[in-house]
Structure 1
């Protein structure tokens, strides 16, 4: 089989007729002045309106541009302000946001760098630190020009999202948004900062600077033999019209159980992204009260190795009730998640990474998606739960450093044709 095989086809529980959905990609906004400690400056410059929107995919900027062009005179002795792979000096963050507001940007793409003069008194954006683009209008005979900052990064993000949709035209917008974020990885420079941070609160602060990192089209649209991606598109009805939680969905996924058991104590990685759209409450801004901005919220949880399906359902029901009453809950496997159940819940896109042994993961092939409160629950006259709310669940298993094929067993179980190259 080829090592790059199409990701698993989406599963839909039933047909869903609803209002047409669109995916908006928004720029995080730009910092207007530069200084040596530019990261500190970016961390106090909040995402610009409307980049804070819950349903949008907000794009920040990072940079790999650190080399000056020999043909561009006037920059002798100048240095790049941002190191390679770091946040672009142009990019804003959501570090100043209230913790209940979404972490933005969702991802970062190339947005160019800034040059610093030898004495640090002047900053500039040479051509070499910007991105090439088409010129309009063409009034001087030149077809090309340069651009930079988060608008340029957003243009690249739009191309990425459109490319995903071109490969899989039937995907929901919720799924395209999820795949962009799910495919993102932190650069070595970003990863070094995450690795040095020992608290989850510190990791979330970095998430509000970098998002989930730099997305990649190949990771978004393909499963490798040693990196399996599963996609589930589904709906559920959050409330029953009387202020009570109505449904939860249990996804019993096709799982490479035998392969994982053979790997035993080898370290593996599970990554989960849950994406859905909410209806904002026009009467409230949503900053002060947890459940007043969004129509509803969704959460995910993974079955523990020692749980039966019935025990798993009971625990999810208890957790959903605790969320309804705004009570804290204990999570016995919280330490194995990079951000953790309490830190990944802001907004309408939730993503987290689990690390553990392959044998442990072999027993975790069930994921629950369940609702938590929102203004739909408080306004039954405007509650649209009856028509169902859509969501996309993306699940990836990675076995780095292990010469195993986890894709083929799942593809066989799911009935996906396997192409053999000769």
Structure 2
């Protein structure tokens, strides 16, 4: 089911008083009323008719000795506005498989299933049981049964189905556990050869899925469905950049003119992306509506505000559109809800001396804020230091200045900033002869070690090369893997923060066995060219620059959706929504049945928390609920006549858990994701930056009560955790086996995320989250008298289950509303 529900903001602050749960229960599905006998007979006729049609199509192919499948694909639709009980459409033991579930714009849910020929009676028995005994509730939720054709298996816009002209498509093949992937691939490719359907020898592996590429039109796809019993989905492959990049000037301008007419900025909110770079040439027809002259600045007047290098204008194209290729291919109105600000901090990369970067950054941000003091702003910077890099993760003057700016030390204003991790170059890859070795050896560049900023690395989905000059080249990285251009914190001491925190599209490298490595346009991102009047208006961008621009687009969209959220919360949502691709886990966790904590530390140091998902950040679903808490505490105190400071406050949050529903789900697997985000103030003076425990003003950690652990025992356990630093060996007991990342991996830096996995019944008892402080220079530097300082924090908690028919969202909302009503009533007495 889609994510269409607003996230739940819990306004109640942390407390220690017991919260009495309000009873709830599992929500009955929204099923249509039926005349059982008539409806059952109608569906039986449809089923038999679909099966007969399938057999006729098979016979036609058998007559000409063409390959055929051993079963039937059916498209099963629900009634408009009602639920479809999809989980009952599958029976793995009978090899009846549910392939996909979709919901159209008319609120009609449809599912595609595959039934082997020998299991034809599986569904007929369900229908007959429904007619005779009212059993098989699933049948009452079905509106129609038809033979599935290309449209049923196509994922994405129906307008993109290649009815006439062949295009590159992704074919997702179903694989049973323990089957040999290579045998299935060979069989499918052999069938493609028989039907003369071009394919690429590139593959992506997911649990129970293989993704392959074929060049096909509607007729070819229809043949594939008839000859293969393994089709689960078909998707349009991304259009290669070279299609647009190789167009001549006139043709590019035609595409741009068409897109310009579809740009809608009428709902442009008080949200901006401030790009600190080489300037932006806002006369470009794709940028003129989102960059005003008054919002262009330069830290030095001699520079001018226009872009003579091109990098800033390239960043702008991605920050506005995220993926320009997809925008061109779409025919929809493109809503742009944010605007851009530009502050030119250099004429070209490495234009300034390194020791000035912290100052330049602060001044640049100030220029934008003076012009527009009251906007929701994300600051985007893809400029990094190339020399004198502290490769062990220690703060620099530049990263320290950024931490200070973002935490609002001087003015109390917190800020959101996204910084590129820096790039591994092709020469390093060539020297290492293995791109993974190259990126491991290339440390995140200064100021990417800033604790409060989001540092952005790169991954890639770019694997399609169609440029004639690169015909013999192959993509170096697999689809979904980290980009060969990214940098990592693998070489850092493990006490320093996880960097990068997230990864986004950074492009790929083309490789030839004899010619080596190359930067092919097809493996880069299309964007706006600063020389649009003299040259082609479109060009390309790649590496962590494009990734950082994409990250700023996500941040702006979160700020537009929830304009009142703190910067710390926006940062938390971006990290919270991120996940690792299957290829990342395959390459780094190496398909281990039970990866170790060290394996996950390596995954974090290379990929961060994965690829952020805007939909998961801003929307909840019935079975996946995001809860947001914003609070602050006073971590330290000074006793009368005492010279030292002591620990002071900790917060306990009792979440509005749908306990009855979770208990009803029993042994069903569920997941809880927790992310804690806060800003630290950097320790004043260079000496403080040599020691982790002195650099942050204060640290915060979270813990969750174990199943069967009540509030009193939980409080007693956590109070023992109030130690001088989080690396003390007397760690508190915890159900650590259920946490994916683990305490030692998550308790570093100023953003902490972990994933709890277990059964629903176990999670029903774990609804208490504690936030408590660990020491920092606020406590140890008593002469600075910071014991009364408060620290803000954002806490995001998601509870989710794969059971799509479970409504956790309504139960949680009801609990919150009921508690609010009780509180309001008591206060009125």
Length-normalised TM-score, structure 2: 0.48
CA distance in 2, matches of 1:68, 1:286: 50
The alpha-carbon deviation at position 260 of structure 1 amounts to 0.4
Structure 1 residue 73 displacement after superposition: 2.8
Residue 223 of structure 1 is matched in structure 2 by: 620
Match of 2:434 in 1: 37
The superposition leaves residues 109-160 of structure 1 with CA deviations (integer Å, 9 ceiling, x where unpaired) of 00100101232x4211111111011111434242221100001100000000
Q: Partner of 1:246 in structure 2?
A: 648
1:205 shift after superposition: 1.3
CA distance 1:331–1:340, change in 2 (3 Å) = farther
CA shift, 1:290, in A, is 3.9
Corresponding residue SS for 1:319: coil
- Please state if 1:173 is matched with 2:570: no
Offset, 1:411: 1.0
Distance in 1, matches of 2:10 and 2:532, equals: 44
1:230–1:394: 8 Å Cα contact kept in structure 2?
yes
Which has the larger helix fraction? 2
CA RMSD of aligned residues (A): 2.1
Q: In 2, Cα distance between the equivalents of 1:361 and 1:392?
A: 22
Quote the residue 1:164 is aligned against.
558
1:361 is matched with which residue?
763
1:113 matches 2:508: yes
**1:25 pairs with one of 392, 415, 418:** 418
Aligned counterpart for 1:78 among listed residues 473, 495, 502:
473
For the residues of structure 2 that align with 1:216 and 1:392, how far apart are their CA atoms?
19
Distance 2:448 2:684 in 1: 17
Q: Give CA-to-partner distance per residue, 1:186-228, whole Å, 9 cap, x none.
A: 1110122334372201210111100111101100001111101
The match for 1:410 among 809, 812, 817 is 812
User: What is the match of residue 537 of structure 2?
Assistant: 143
* 2:485 maps to 1:90: yes
Does the 8 Å contact 1:94/1:103 carry over to 2?
yes
Moved over 6 A (4+): none
| Secondary structure class of the residue paired with 1:89 | coil
Distance 2:746 2:768 in 1: 19
- Paired residue for 1:258, among 660, 673, 692? 660
Normalising by structure 1, we get a TM-score of: 0.93
Within 2, Cα distance between the matches of 1:212 and 1:9?
23
Kept after mapping to 1: 8 A contact 2:721/2:732? no
1:186 partner SS: coil
Q: Report what 1:343 is aligned to.
A: 745
Distance 1:326 1:245 in 2: 16
Verify: 1:126 aligned to 2:520, yes or no: yes
SS at match of 1:87: coil
The 2-side partners of 1:90 and 1:332 are apart by: 39
Do residues 235 (structure 1) and 632 (structure 2) align? yes
Q: For structure 1, which runs of at least 5 residues remain unmatched after alignment?
A: 417-422
2:5 corresponds in structure 1 to 5
How far apart in 1 are the matches of 2:558 and 2:802?
25
Residues 383 and 5 of structure 1, relative CA distance in 2, 3 Å threshold: farther
Aligned length: 411
**Alpha-carbon displacement from aligned partner over 1:337-360 (angstroms, at most 9, x marks no partner):** 112112211100000111111101
For residues 727 and 437 of structure 2, the distance between their equivalents in structure 1, rounded to whole angstroms, comes to 37
Does residue 190 (structure 1) correspond to residue 584 (structure 2)? The answer is yes
8 Å contact kept, 1:322–1:329: no
Partners of 2:8 and 2:626 within 8 A in 1: yes
**Partners of 2:724 and 2:774 within 8 A in 1:** no
Q: Secondary structure at the match of 2:720?
A: helix
Q: Give the alignment partner of residue 64 of structure 1, picking from 458, 461, 473.
A: 461
Compare CA radii of gyration and give the structure with the larger one.
Answer: 2
State whether structure 2 residue 590 is matched by structure 1 residue 201.
Answer: no
In the TM superposition, residue 324 of structure 1 has moved relative to its aligned partner by 6.9
Q: What secondary structure sits across from 1:300 in the alignment?
A: strand
Aligned in 2, Cα 1:383/1:135: closer, same or farther, shift over 3 Å?
farther
**How far apart, CA to CA, are the structure 1 residues paired with 2:570 and 2:813?**
22
Provide the C-alpha distance between the structure 1 equivalents of 2:781 and 2:525, rounded to a whole number of angstroms.
48
CA distance in 2 between partners of 1:323 and 1:379 (Å): 15
Deviation at 1:12, TM superposition (A): 6.2
| Alpha carbons of structure 1 residues 276 and 130: separation in structure 2 relative to 1, 3 Å | same
Would the aligned equivalents of 2:693 and 2:725 in 1 still touch at CA under 8 Å? no
- Partner residue in 2 for 1:213: 610
**Quick check: 1:376–1:384 contact (8 Å CA) kept in 2?**
yes
- Greater relative CO (CA pairs within 8 A, separation 6+): 1
Q: CA deviation at 1:403?
A: 2.6
For residues 214-269 of structure 1, the C-alpha deviation after alignment (integer angstroms, 9 at most, x for no partner) is 10110000111110111100000111144200100000111111110100111111
The 1:383–1:272 alpha-carbon spacing in structure 2 relative to 1, beyond 3 Å, is farther
Matched, 1:334 2:757: no
The more displaced of 353-362 and 316-325 is 316-325
What is the deviation of 1:96? 0.5
Structure 1 residues 405, 97: CA separation in 2 closer, same or farther (over 3 Å shift)? same
Shift of 1:4: 1.8
Q: Kindly indicate whether the alpha-carbon contact (under 8 Å) linking 1:272 and 1:394 is maintained by their aligned counterparts in 2.
A: yes
Deviation at 1:3, TM superposition (A): 5.3
Deviation at 1:91, TM superposition (A): 0.3
Q: CA deviation at 1:51?
A: 0.4
Give the 3-state SS of the residue equivalent to 1:367 in structure 2. strand
Matched residues in 2 for 1:243 and 1:385: separation?
7
